[in-house]
Structure 1
């Protein structure tokens, strides 16, 4: 895939050069290729102006003409082709107020954020590296191009990118760059929350989430964003277990919220501020809610919780929040000896049982959702001769729990027989 992608990019570069312009592969694709990492997309910089690019290629899309960018389509693959440019002042610490076209590759590379992103490859495959990005990479150092204060002052999002690149590529942030980041970190309040979320998501979902947490803690970056976040409490936490053992970014995030002692409503509020998708929010919230439910189930237990009781509250949580949430929660508990920051021995011992047996219990459940139950609301109303109401849902849930715990067989006759007894008990309790 990447070979075909690169061929398309080089075809564009050569076509521009044949027409008398300069053209190069630039940015992240050059960096990743030098490091032997997979390249997701190739960007091209050229001395040709946007209208000249549009004239040279059959299929183009005017994606960012105000910034000098034209998308050229080769095969079915889009490539961004941007004119060499110098940027005027910046507004809102994010966007250039004006763009001036130039004919110098070096000057174009000079406006970029980090030395490792300021390299280019020419039509013959030769590396052009005016700011020693390659030697920085070889030394494992992340360094701004030119003066770090200026780079971060032009675009404050670069500070979040700095943390992400350092964690993802295993780099040490050069001292002057780190000092500039720490002195300029309050500029993050100018950056849209969705931009912060995109960087955070990539950091936590990346290859070294623990390094990302260290960098977020060291810089206190999340204390300086536009809206107050519960996640900013990260910098009070230390000694995280290896989060990379959790395969999903959402599961890593759920673990962090559990560690911070968040309740589901706080998770929702935080994730809405950060513009996470509804699906991502529900996934994280369900895991945190299941954890909260298990803890409150332990609080209600008298004496030491028996294994049968621990199984009951585990399966009850699975029915309420979904089997996937409980599977994820068990993985979270497996991360360390005391997954829940508490001195309560009972909680620790319960977690040990859930780690050992939680997976088996989930597999043994004969039913895990109302849709799998052999009776429905209409069956109950018909059998009991009573009009539907709030009792219907409560009774179905009770039957579901009994069937899931294998206390009742999941067949119509058995469930309807049990339904009458449950219904009568409910009536007595309500009176």
Structure 2
């Protein structure tokens, strides 16, 4: 697909050239192509005005006319085509107050953030690199175009992009660029939290999340966002004590691990992720993982036997969802001893070389235990609430959920077969005990 996209992008460049306009592939696609990395999308810069671009192509979308951008659609794939421009003053340390169209590629590239993103390719594959982007990449250096402080004051989000690029591409941030970032980091308070969250997600989901954590800590970036976040406390944990986060499959699961490592409880996780503008689904998954961890941590403190550990694992899955337990299994496999607390005689910050037997059981058998449950939810229980109410001849009420919950737990633990008649017999006993106990 990447080859087809490149061919289509170059066809757009040639059509613009054939009609008397300058046009080039620019930005990230050039950088990644030069590095031999997969290219996700192709952007084009041109001397043609937006209306001229629209006139030359059959299918276009006016996605950013105020900034000179027209999206050309070819074989259902979008390609952003932007007129060479010069940007005036910036407002809120994020957006240019005015845009002036120009006919100079070099001046257009000059307004970009980093030298590696200020390169262009012409229709024949010739590289245009006025600011030494390739030389910086060969030397493993990330450098701002021009004066770093000016670039960061124009758009403060570039500082988070700087940290992301440095971690993703294994680059050393050039000294003056780093100094300017440290001096300007307080400007992040002007950046919308959803923009900060997007960069954080990409860092955690990138090629080197551990490097991203170290850079976030060294820069203090998360202490300067518009809203105070729990994740700012990450800079209090020595970089060398983090395990390899690539051992955790996804960005969301790596984030959950960070919260557990910081000791943030389930409600705190949900609130912090809300401040960071994560989706409700992401917040729910992470907070349920946190709640399951809180429950299991309490069990772990008592040093449970393997049988007790199995029962606790299954109970946690009923309360917080099997998906939360599967996530925890991965996190425990990575760093379980430290997440569940030090044992006597261990130094602060150190993780035990081996976990206790119950932890090893959670890691090695936890998934099989969940799969072997006779029922994992009320839907899987072979007795409905309506059948229960009809059998007992009572009006539905809070007791209905209590009885069904007890039946599900006993069935999931293997103490009761998932059989309608046996469930009804057990329901009678549970209901009778609730009646004797009375209202809570």
TM range, smaller chain: over 0.9
Change (3 A) 1:298 1:385: farther
Change (3 A) 1:330 1:337: closer
Residue 422 of structure 1 corresponds to which residue in structure 2?
430
- Among 396, 399, 406, the residue aligned to 2:407: 399
**Deviation of 1:250 (Å):** 1.2
Aligned ranges for residues 245-260 of structure 1 at < 5 Å?
Answer: 245-260=247-262
Indicate the larger mover: 154-163 or 379-388.
Answer: 379-388
**Could you list the runs of 5+ residues in structure 2 that have no partner in the other structure?**
346-351
Residue 320 of structure 2 corresponds to which residue in structure 1?
321
User: Are 2:300 and 2:340, in contact at CA under 8 Å, matched by a contact in 1?
Assistant: no
CA RMSD of aligned residues (A): 1.6
Please give the alpha-carbon distance, in whole angstroms, between the structure 2 residues aligned to 1:377 and 1:296: 32
**Deviation of 1:138 (Å):** 1.1
Q: Secondary structure at the match of 1:407?
A: coil
1:191 aligns with 2:182: no
Deviations 1:321-372 (A, max 9, x none): 1111101101101113523162356996343332233223222212111100
Residue 262 of structure 1 corresponds to which residue in structure 2?
264
Residue 349 of structure 2 corresponds to which residue in structure 1?
none
Please give the alpha-carbon distance, in whole angstroms, between the structure 1 residues aligned to 2:423 and 2:79: 61
Residue 206 of structure 1 corresponds to which residue in structure 2?
206
Q: Secondary structure at the match of 1:336?
A: helix
**Deviation of 1:20 (Å):** 0.9
Deviations 1:110-167 (A, max 9, x none): 1000000000000111011111111111111111111100000100000000011111
User: Are 2:30 and 2:119, in contact at CA under 8 Å, matched by a contact in 1?
Assistant: yes
Residue 170 of structure 1 corresponds to which residue in structure 2?
170
**Deviation of 1:298 (Å):** 4.5
1:52 aligns with 2:52: yes
**Deviation of 1:39 (Å):** 0.9
**Deviation of 1:429 (Å):** 2.4
Aligned ranges for residues 7-406 of structure 1 at < 5 Å?
Answer: 7-238=7-238, 239-298=241-300, 304-336=303-335, 338-340=337-339, 342-344=341-343, 349=356, 350-406=358-414
Please give the alpha-carbon distance, in whole angstroms, between the structure 1 residues aligned to 2:205 and 2:344: 32
Please give the alpha-carbon distance, in whole angstroms, between the structure 2 residues aligned to 1:144 and 1:430: 71
**Deviation of 1:314 (Å):** 0.8
Deviations 1:59-92 (A, max 9, x none): 2111111111111112211111111111100000
User: Are 1:259 and 1:341, in contact at CA under 8 Å, matched by a contact in 2?
Assistant: no
Change (3 A) 1:390 1:297: farther
Change (3 A) 1:161 1:42: same
**Deviation of 1:427 (Å):** 2.0
Q: Secondary structure at the match of 1:125?
A: coil
User: Are 1:229 and 1:270, in contact at CA under 8 Å, matched by a contact in 2?
Assistant: yes
Indicate the larger mover: 185-194 or 332-341.
Answer: 332-341
User: Are 1:157 and 1:196, in contact at CA under 8 Å, matched by a contact in 2?
Assistant: yes
Please give the alpha-carbon distance, in whole angstroms, between the structure 1 residues aligned to 2:57 and 2:382: 63
Which aligned segments of 4 or more residues in structure 1 are displaced greater than 6 angstroms?
none
**Deviation of 1:57 (Å):** 1.6
Q: Secondary structure at the match of 1:292?
A: helix
Q: Secondary structure at the match of 1:187?
A: helix
**Could you list the runs of 5+ residues in structure 1 that have no partner in the other structure?**
none
What is the TM-score of this pair, normalised by structure 2? Answer: 0.94
User: Are 2:31 and 2:117, in contact at CA under 8 Å, matched by a contact in 1?
Assistant: yes
Deviations 1:282-319 (A, max 9, x none): 111111111012123446x5xx4222221111101111
Please give the alpha-carbon distance, in whole angstroms, between the structure 1 residues aligned to 2:359 and 2:438: 35
Deviations 1:236-260 (A, max 9, x none): 1121111111112111111100001
